[in-house]
A and B are shown apart, each in its own frame.
Chain A
Amino acid sequence: MPAEQFHEWLRREGRIVVVGASLAGLRAAETLRAEGFTGSLTMIGDEPYEPYDRPPLSKAVLLGMSAPDRTDLPRRREIDATWRLGVAATGLDLAAHRVRLADGDEVPYDRLLIATGVRARPWPREEEAQLDGVFTLRTRDDAVRLHRRLKAGPRRVFVIGAGFTGSEIASACRHQGIAVTVAERADAPLVGALGGVIGSVAAELHRDNGVDLRTGVMVTGLEGDSVGRVRAAHLSDGSVVDTDVVVVSLGATRNTEWLADSGLGAGPRGIACDAGCRAFDFRGIVTDDVYVAGDVARSPHALFGYQFLSLEHWGNAVAQAEVAAHNMISASADRRPHLWVPAFWSAQFGVNIKSVGVPTMGEEIMITQGSLAERRFVGVYGYRGRVIAAVSFDNTRWLEFYEGQIERGAPFPVEYPTMDRRPEGRKPVPADFPDPSLPTHGATVTLSGYSPADRRLVFTPARH
């Protein structure tokens, strides 16, 4: 069939399967229908729920503003799909164009979209992770369990890891007057994502809000009582913290195991794809019928030296899903690249933290507006003489200007005057990111290397 006819046929009566029924999967399905796809659409999700939103789970839900099972995503339109919920995909046969499911079924496809996302990294010692009162927070079920326990009024909540999620959990607990200890192996919260300069502001934010923040320590063990309930956490500095709730917030693991022998370029760092969201196979050859979107994808970005970026960002999931869906049913000349500028937000302790670009590439930072001490500022990150990222604390309305600077590759340091520039903002200082070879769990953008077929295991940092 000539290509043009093929795409016409595909749009009319092709079979599209979406593995991953969360934000990216849903928005992709809606885009497919919006662009006129009338064939069959199957949505496969390992959780038994229709697509729900995750960011509220660590914010509105823990603050008591929303029930944990009431975060379903609104629909932009009807998608007329066959839903296979509560059943995980377990395998992929690239040659036969079939997805295998946990219940033994096989689902054939003409086009496949993989949007399986990430899962919370559990506490590594299994017997300790099993203790009653030890939680992670990623899914609706996680949120239901944690929410119930927080409502019961714990004596103290112990949070392992001061990345974005850990910090938001600590913030929600403090907001409700619950005592919180946060343990972080770096010298400050958010260091992995935003560097040490910003991390020190975050540390003050924690402490001023009554968090017992322990930095530069590791958790060496969780201790249970005789009936299997957690009762204390042991730290590498020898201290012991009595607690009845532990939240493990050590970042995320990409859901790619089900693709292990599929021949796809998938591994612990995600699934490599091109800028058009087409997956690479393990030989580094791009496929044309398998697409990837959302947290599980890693793709090259022109603005950042064509490095492969893994983005655990809500907005990226939406944007990439839309591009992937469009490209799946379009002839090659009509395809679009996914060139989203990374953008991220977090709300904690009443402060709105946002970033654009790739802060983790930043060598230096300068505070171009406002002041760190007042916790209202814009910080600009520089990389090899150009602006690569910006972060704001309660200053979000300026951020789109800096997004333009990043897109333009504007020079760094920022020499021109800006309003509300303080003496501290006249010179760049080292951004103070930890050695990238050391594990951290705060980053939301990971540079995952050039080689799509590189299957070396590296530590893959986490979502908020």
Chain B
Amino acid sequence: MTQAPLLRRITDYSSRADPYPLYEELRRTPVLHEEEGGPYVISSYYDIKGLLHDPRISSDAANATAVDDEFSAPEATGLPPSFLRLDPPEHDRLRRIANSSFGPPHRPDRIDGLRGELGAIVSDLLDGLAGAERIDVVDQFAYPFPVTVICRLLGVPREEEPRFRAWVDPIVAGLDPGNRDDPGAPGPKAAQEARVQLGMYLAGLVEERTRDPRDDMLSDLVAGHGPDGAMSMMEVLSTAVLLLIAGHETTVNLITNGMLTLLRHPEYLERLRADPGLSVRIVEELLRYEPPVQLVPQRTCITDIELRGVTIPKGSRIWLVLAAGNRDPERFKDPDRFDPDREDIEHLGFGSGIHSCFGAPLARLEAQVALAELARRLDNPRLAEDPPPYRTNAVLRGPRHLTVDVDGVLP
């Protein structure tokens, strides 16, 4: 009897609810290379961290020699790559310009100033659930919340969400390496087309903002107030596509994984109810324990590199399994225990190095506010289904629905 390769078992949908035993198996071969032309899979904490800071590891699709990789599909027909898929100096320039409309030093108060609004959006959503006895945390809360926030931040009309969601879904599906084995899934071509469509949609908004700037990131991206000047129109669009998608597709998982984890560990739900300040540590531990981005499948080495006695040849694809590194017993004591009280939570949940999550501070605040309020307002919440049904995506992993029975929603 031969078992399917480990990597295929990990990307297989049947392991979505609990991939952690497979990650443990993965760590036993810290540099795993199962198939000719397949990726080198890295799973231990220190190796991942090392490669995230290694100037020989590229994020630029153009450096990947493997042609069967949908990530390296030429994007010339569509938008230019976003800074996520670029190396310095281009990555640095675009990220600096994007940051000048988002955070310090140019906009130190953008995210901090959003705190009141985050609370108001959360309150509205929960008020809307008054009288409910069964709720879907995903559809009724964890999805609409970050969508509303990123729309507000970028300057995309919230009511057009059904429209852009039709493009976002195939793009996100295209990020799932497991997709390749599923003939029914939207292919890379569909993802490319959706990306172009979404870009064209955003182009309309960008044009409006060029004429009539407002206090939102699209306006700032177009204007380019920082020392690096402005982006080209195409760069603005590919950045906006990235921010719109990354701004909610990951946060929905962080919040839902968080609520699921708290319902499985009711003592922390109880403590959070009594002390909303605990949400800070809970979110950090969640980023370790159930990270919303499980792995980074987009790196390539630009030269042969040696790791643990294995030579990874130039041009190889490298997968960094952040979620496996986060449970590495060489790094964390008792790694499979959810423990917000642990003193050392230096997790890889947002990656590390120059590509570390752009929206991390926003995601943190959103998840902190969301979980604290869910804990406070849901009366006697109980999981209706455990495990819940998961989204297909192996990279952006999280429940598709999270059905919770409640005795009511408190004011």
Q: Is A368 an interface residue (CB 8 A)?
A: yes
> For A419, what are the chain B residues with a Cβ–Cβ distance below 8 Å?
55-56, 58, 87-88, 302
User: When chains A and B are docked, how far (Å) is the Cα of A416 from the Cα of B58?
Assistant: 14
Is the Cβ of A376 less than 8 Å from the Cβ of B55?
Answer: no
Is the Cβ of B50 less than 8 Å from the Cβ of A404?
Answer: yes
Within 8 A of B (CB), among A385-425: 397-398, 400-401, 404, 416-420
Is the Cβ of A397 less than 8 Å from the Cβ of B89?
Answer: no
Q: Is B107 an interface residue (CB 8 A)?
A: no
Within 8 A of A (CB), among B346-374: 352-354
User: When chains A and B are docked, how far (Å) is the Cα of A275 from the Cα of B151?
Assistant: 57
Q: Is B303 an interface residue (CB 8 A)?
A: yes
Is the Cβ of B87 less than 8 Å from the Cβ of A420?
Answer: yes
Is the Cβ of A401 less than 8 Å from the Cβ of B53?
Answer: yes
Q: Is B75 an interface residue (CB 8 A)?
A: no
Q: Is B330 an interface residue (CB 8 A)?
A: no
Within 8 A of B (CB), among A77-112: none
Least CB distance, A374 to chain B, in whole angstroms:
8
Is the Cβ of B87 less than 8 Å from the Cβ of A418?
Answer: no
Q: Is A136 an interface residue (CB 8 A)?
A: no
Within 8 A of A (CB), among B41-98: 50, 53-56, 58, 87-89, 92
Q: Is the interface of A mostly helix, strand, loop or mixed?
A: mixed
User: When chains A and B are docked, how far (Å) is the Cα of A376 from the Cα of B353?
Assistant: 16
User: When chains A and B are docked, how far (Å) is the Cα of A260 from the Cα of B233?
Assistant: 70
Is the Cβ of B53 less than 8 Å from the Cβ of A417?
Answer: no
Is the Cβ of A368 less than 8 Å from the Cβ of B55?
Answer: yes
Q: Is A42 an interface residue (CB 8 A)?
A: no
User: When chains A and B are docked, how far (Å) is the Cα of A378 from the Cα of B55?
Assistant: 10
> For A420, what are the chain B residues with a Cβ–Cβ distance below 8 Å?
55, 87-89
> For A400, what are the chain B residues with a Cβ–Cβ distance below 8 Å?
50, 53
Q: Is A22 an interface residue (CB 8 A)?
A: no
Q: Is A276 an interface residue (CB 8 A)?
A: no
User: When chains A and B are docked, how far (Å) is the Cα of A145 from the Cα of B232?
Assistant: 50
Q: Is A370 an interface residue (CB 8 A)?
A: yes
Is the Cβ of B53 less than 8 Å from the Cβ of A397?
Answer: yes
Number of cross-chain contacts by CB at 8 Å: 43
User: When chains A and B are docked, how far (Å) is the Cα of A117 from the Cα of B213?
Assistant: 56
Is the Cβ of A398 less than 8 Å from the Cβ of B53?
Answer: yes
Q: Is A369 an interface residue (CB 8 A)?
A: yes
Least CB distance, B346 to chain A, in whole angstroms:
13
Query: Which chain A residue lies CB-closest to B227?
Result: A350
> For A416, what are the chain B residues with a Cβ–Cβ distance below 8 Å?
56, 303
Interface centre among A350, A369, A398 (most CB of B within 10 A): A398
User: When chains A and B are docked, how far (Å) is the Cα of A267 from the Cα of B352?
Assistant: 44
User: When chains A and B are docked, how far (Å) is the Cα of A401 from the Cα of B54?
Assistant: 6
User: When chains A and B are docked, how far (Å) is the Cα of A397 from the Cα of B55?
Assistant: 10
Partner of A417, one of B88, B302, B354: B302
Query: Which chain A residue lies CB-closest to B54?
Result: A401
Is the Cβ of A369 less than 8 Å from the Cβ of B55?
Answer: yes
User: When chains A and B are docked, how far (Å) is the Cα of A417 from the Cα of B87?
Assistant: 13
Least CB distance, B302 to chain A, in whole angstroms:
5
User: When chains A and B are docked, how far (Å) is the Cα of A404 from the Cα of B49?
Assistant: 12
Query: Which chain B residue lies CB-closest to A378?
Result: B55
Least CB distance, A67 to chain B, in whole angstroms:
21
> For A397, what are the chain B residues with a Cβ–Cβ distance below 8 Å?
53, 352-354
User: When chains A and B are docked, how far (Å) is the Cα of A368 from the Cα of B58?
Assistant: 15
Partner of B89, one of A370, A417, A418: A370
> For A368, what are the chain B residues with a Cβ–Cβ distance below 8 Å?
55
> For B88, what are the chain A residues with a Cβ–Cβ distance below 8 Å?
369-370, 419-420
> For B354, what are the chain A residues with a Cβ–Cβ distance below 8 Å?
397-398
User: When chains A and B are docked, how far (Å) is the Cα of A250 from the Cα of B405?
Assistant: 70
Least CB distance, A361 to chain B, in whole angstroms:
22
Least CB distance, A402 to chain B, in whole angstroms:
9
User: When chains A and B are docked, how far (Å) is the Cα of A400 from the Cα of B52?
Assistant: 10
Q: Beta-carbon contacts of A201-232 to B below 8 Å, as 1s and 0s?
A: 00000000000000000000000000000000
> For B89, what are the chain A residues with a Cβ–Cβ distance below 8 Å?
370, 374, 376, 420
> For B352, what are the chain A residues with a Cβ–Cβ distance below 8 Å?
397
Query: Which chain B residue lies CB-closest to A371?
Result: B89
User: When chains A and B are docked, how far (Å) is the Cα of A370 from the Cα of B55?
Assistant: 11
Least CB distance, B53 to chain A, in whole angstroms:
5
User: When chains A and B are docked, how far (Å) is the Cα of A418 from the Cα of B353?
Assistant: 15
> For B58, what are the chain A residues with a Cβ–Cβ distance below 8 Å?
419
> For B55, what are the chain A residues with a Cβ–Cβ distance below 8 Å?
368-369, 378, 398, 401, 418-420
Least CB distance, A404 to chain B, in whole angstroms:
7
Least CB distance, B91 to chain A, in whole angstroms:
9
User: When chains A and B are docked, how far (Å) is the Cα of A404 from the Cα of B55?
Assistant: 12
User: When chains A and B are docked, how far (Å) is the Cα of A350 from the Cα of B105?
Assistant: 10
Query: Which chain A residue lies CB-closest to B356?
Result: A397
> For A418, what are the chain B residues with a Cβ–Cβ distance below 8 Å?
55-56, 302
User: When chains A and B are docked, how far (Å) is the Cα of A183 from the Cα of B105?
Assistant: 31
User: When chains A and B are docked, how far (Å) is the Cα of A420 from the Cα of B88?
Assistant: 6
User: When chains A and B are docked, how far (Å) is the Cα of A420 from the Cα of B90?
Assistant: 9
Q: Beta-carbon contacts of A318-357 to B below 8 Å, as 1s and 0s?
A: 0000000000000000000000000000000010000000
> For B87, what are the chain A residues with a Cβ–Cβ distance below 8 Å?
419-420
Least CB distance, A352 to chain B, in whole angstroms:
12
Within 8 A of A (CB), among B84-131: 87-89, 92, 105
User: When chains A and B are docked, how far (Å) is the Cα of A368 from the Cα of B55?
Assistant: 9
Query: Which chain B residue lies CB-closest to A422?
Result: B89
Within 8 A of A (CB), among B280-308: 302-303
User: When chains A and B are docked, how far (Å) is the Cα of A267 from the Cα of B53?
Assistant: 41
Is the Cβ of A417 less than 8 Å from the Cβ of B56?
Answer: yes
User: When chains A and B are docked, how far (Å) is the Cα of A420 from the Cα of B89?
Assistant: 6
User: When chains A and B are docked, how far (Å) is the Cα of A256 from the Cα of B352?
Assistant: 43
> For B353, what are the chain A residues with a Cβ–Cβ distance below 8 Å?
397-398
Interface centre among A369, A417, A418, A419 (most CB of B within 10 A): A419
Residues of chain A whose beta carbon lies under 8 Å from any beta carbon of chain B: 350, 368-370, 374, 376, 378, 397-398, 400-401, 404, 416-420
Q: List 12 A-B contacts (CB under 8 A).
A: A350-B105, A376-B92, A397-B53, A397-B352, A397-B354, A398-B55, A401-B55, A404-B50, A416-B56, A419-B55, A420-B87, A420-B89
| A-B contact sample (16 more), CB < 8 A, given A378-B55, A397-B354 | A369-B55, A370-B89, A376-B89, A376-B92, A397-B53, A397-B353, A398-B55, A400-B50, A401-B53, A401-B55, A417-B302, A417-B303, A419-B56, A419-B87, A419-B88, A420-B88
Residues of chain B whose beta carbon lies under 8 Å from any beta carbon of chain A: 50, 53-56, 58, 87-89, 92, 105, 302-303, 352-354
> Closest 3 CB pairs between A and B?
A418-B55, A420-B88, A419-B87
